Amino acid sequence: MQSYTIFFDCWTEIITAEEATTDYGALLDMLIDKLEKEHGRYSTLFVEYKDTVEGGGEIYEDEYVTGGNHGLNLFIGGNLNIVPLDPENVYYTTYDGTEKTEPNEPDTRSITEWKEWFTQYGDKEEYCNFDEWIMDMISSGVLLVENTVTMDH
């Protein structure tokens, strides 16, 4: 079993696959099926074809992905990131400077450590919760995802 965190639009979801995979299309299919089951196929999470540029609407093709058992269009708002969830091996690094480092120096922490950082220092006026903050930091490149087993923590 391997879990993945999928960040899209202002959402964060965790998907678990039977085994580790790099087939992100299959992971997106699993995500879309999960969201359809939890929220219904007519949820605002999904975009109808008529609303896409291809269908005569205003939503561009880089703002949604198509998948799942029913070929639904999941609105991602142009933001999509899939990260293997393995607290033992995944760390997130910033070079923007923190309370521990100067700008251009790496500050590498686990997801739990960044959650603690957000609780103490995060901008709660701009971000309503940790999931929204970390999704924005990863999608904007402020936090870089590093898969490693050599970190000293």
Q: What is the pLDDT of residues 58-114, one digit of tens each?
A: 999 989 999 888 889 999 988 888 888 765 667 888 999 889 999 999 999 887 888
CB 56 within 8 A of CB 49: no
Q: What share of the chain is helix, strand, coil (3-state, %, to 5)?
A: 30, 30, 40
Sign of CA dihedral 51, 54, 59, 65: positive
pTM of structure: 0.60
Tell me the average pLDDT of the chain. 85
| 8 Å CB contact between 135 and 10 | yes
135-150: pLDDT as tens digits: 788 878 888 877 643 3
In sequence order, the 6+-apart residues with CB closer than 8 A to the CB of 87 are 110, 111, 112
138 in Cβ contact with 92 (< 8 Å): yes
Q: Which range is least confidently modeled, 11-15, 55-59, 92-96?
A: 11-15
d(CA 56, CA 52): 6
Does residue 47 register a pLDDT over 90?
yes
Residue 138: how many other CB atoms lie within 10 Å:
19
Stretch 43-58: mean pLDDT: 92
- From CA 96, how far away is CA 22, in angstroms rounded? 29
